[in-house]
Amino acid sequence: MTPPTQDASAEGWRPAALNQGWTYSDRTGQREQGQMVSALLADRHRHSSIEDWKQRIQRGELRLNGALLACDQPLPAAAELHWSRPPWVEPAIPDSWHVIHDDGDVLVIHKPSGLPVMPGGGFLEHTLERLLVQRCLDACEEQVPKPVHRLGRFTSGLQVCARRGETRARLSRAFRPDGGSCKLYQAWAHRVNDLDPGVTLRVDTDVIERPHPLLGWVWGPEPPAAVTVRRRLQAHSEVSLLERTSEGDRLQVAITTGRPHQIRIHLAQLGSPLLGDPLYLQNQQINEQATPGDGGYRLHAWRLSLDGLSLCCEPGASFG
């Protein structure tokens, strides 16, 4: 059930490449006054330790209120911090897709698994958003399609974009729980107990923001033991069985809310996480060494009814 390994040098793939770097910004106020710069940044950005931030300061990568920061120091009452991150290598990505619908404004594509939609998680140039910009520049097109929503990097299927800002705003409203849209996914998961053909299982548990040692906080299922919870979001999914095999269940999942990693979290809440999911584990546990952007699972945005459109995108052969 493991997806085939892709050759990053093959046609349809963009190889790993060095980008141009990026400048990140942080603002602080009265509450942070007196805190050391390195300590504040390490607390806000758990991917790096206090020592990492001290080394960046020594290399001349940080500015405080516009001035180069020569050494670690306490923060003033109000501060604007800028970290000029040097160029880094972005991983290889699939950079080709099939167009499902294009009326000159709304563009819907079959996004391949492995392609990030927007910058984040170590991706800056290797994203669908940037690829769309580049293709429009190459074709001398004035209006660039921009994503209306965001599928996870390793979720394939129907990704909606629009060229006009008012269209993106309208479709974004339609994606809300009261917007009238219907979203169906296919997912391969561990066997779901008490789920038989013809039965629909409704899941209404909250999506929980839980502690995570690498990220500080991460969205996940209700924790099995008493842990600190920062936020809760109501979420609703309906699960039905499409196919049962010795390795797992192929499911249809309908969602009316679009919470972060909702399907992955709800299936983990049921005790049936996605096969190969590196983050969400059995017994509502979370892998402390994994992040939401890690792949290995199969989840596909299959069918969508949105703003008068009815779209279908069958998963590829590697999904079955």
The CATH code of the domain that includes 105 is: 3.30.2350.10
End residue of a domain, out of 174, 190, 224: 174
Least trusted range by pLDDT, from 139-143, 248-252, 298-302: 139-143
Residue 243 has pLDDT above 50, yes or no: yes
End residue of a domain, out of 174, 191, 221: 174
Span 71-79, average pLDDT:
96
Residue 231 and residue 143 share a domain: no
Residue 284 has pLDDT above 80, yes or no: yes
Quick one: what percent of the chain has pLDDT higher than 90? 82
Per-residue pLDDT at 223: 85
Residue 199 has pLDDT above 70, yes or no: yes
Per-residue pLDDT at 23: 97
Per-residue pLDDT at 177: 84
Per-residue pLDDT at 103: 96
If 0-12 CB within 10 Å is exposed, 13-18 middle and 19+ buried, where does residue 185 land?
A: buried
134 phi/psi in degrees, rounded to 5: -65, -40
Residue 96 and residue 76 share a domain: no
Residue 5 has pLDDT above 70, yes or no: no
Span 282-307, average pLDDT:
94
Residue 25 has pLDDT above 70, yes or no: yes
Average pLDDT value for the chain: 93
The pLDDT tens digits for 104-159 are 999 999 999 999 999 988 999 999 999 999 999 999 998 999 999 999 999 999 99
Confidence of residue 2 (pLDDT cuts 50, 70, 90): very low
Per-residue pLDDT at 153: 95
Is position 46 within any domain?
A: yes
Least trusted range by pLDDT, from 81-90, 191-200, 224-233, 249-258: 224-233
Q: Which residues constitute the domain of residue 188? A: 182-319
Is position 121 within any domain?
A: yes
Is position 2 within any domain?
A: no
Angle CA 130–179–105, to nearest 5:
40
Is position 10 within any domain?
A: no
Per-residue pLDDT at 229: 86
Residue 96 and residue 77 share a domain: no
Confidence of residue 10 (pLDDT cuts 50, 70, 90): low
End residue of a domain, out of 122, 145, 174: 174
Residue 186 and residue 162 share a domain: no
The pLDDT tens digits for 28-52 are 999 999 999 999 999 998 889 999 9
- Looking at the structure of the chain, the number of domains it has is 3
Residue 191 and residue 315 share a domain: yes
Residue 127 and residue 152 share a domain: yes
Residue 248 and residue 304 share a domain: yes
Residue 261 and residue 186 share a domain: yes
Residue 186 and residue 144 share a domain: no
- Selected residue with higher pLDDT from 5 and 172: 172
